[in-house]
Amino acid sequence: MSLKAQIDAYNVQKEAKLPADVLALMNTTNEELIAKHIRDNALQVGQKVENFSLVNHRGNILELAELLTKGPAIISFYRGGWCPYCNLELKALNDYLPQFSAHNARLIAVSPQLPDETLSTAQKNELKFDVLSDVSNTVANQFGLLFTLDERIQSLYTGFGIDFEHYYGDKSYKLPLPATYVINQESIITYAFISEDYTLRAEPEAVLNALQVENV
């Protein structure tokens, strides 16, 4: 089943479960964020990515430049382990690890979660790739993906029991847009999926196709 099909199925469940006014608020704030066109200022295909290093869920430091010595890198930016869309995406990417590895590509996921929460996300989803903590969104900002969650949604999520200070160590409510990149060994972006709509995510098959094109 494609990731889109899984997300569509989840959306049906969500619409059946949540009150109409809550769904309306989610849709309204989502449309308002889309209208800001944040992704237009994010890093795009053909641009170079500056080196960075972050701590993974095992407590080890990973450096992009080191990963690229062995092959291309796939970077998935996600909001957090509390986000059902993020979990669906991470698990879908995880299923494609053998195909990615066949192209010597290394997959990493990045969120502003604290290390303990990053570990929880990796364990909960049984992820076999590195999940990195971008505390304070330094790398997300470098990629031009950063936005502040609407105050109405902040209140809504708090009502759902999502404690941002617990997950991120602060209450800035700053998050990265969902984004997936393929970066070649020269640090150049060869594929980019960026969306202000948090319900849309890159298909693993599209990421794999980008790797195959690069190797032609």
> How does the average pLDDT of the chain come out, rounded?
96
Question: Within 10 A of 213 (CB to CB), how many other CB atoms are there?
Answer: 11
- The structural domains of the chain, ordered by start, are 3-214 (3.40.30.10)
Model confidence pLDDT, tens digit, residues 81-105 = 999 999 999 999 999 999 999 999 9
Please check the confidence at residue 208 and state whether its pLDDT lies above 90.
Answer: yes
The reply to whether the predicted model has a pTM over 0.75 is: yes
Please check the confidence at residue 215 and state whether its pLDDT lies above 70.
Answer: no
pLDDT (0 to 100) of residue 213: 80
pLDDT (0 to 100) of residue 214: 67
Pairing of strands 174-176, 73-77: unpaired
Please check the confidence at residue 216 and state whether its pLDDT lies above 60.
Answer: no
Please check the confidence at residue 58 and state whether its pLDDT lies above 60.
Answer: yes
For residue 6 the two structure tokens come to: 């899984």
Whole-angstrom distance, CA of residue 113 vs CA of residue 107: 18
Work out the percent of the chain whose per-residue pLDDT is above 90: 97
The Cβ-side half-sphere exposure at 215, using a 13 Å CA radius, reads: 15
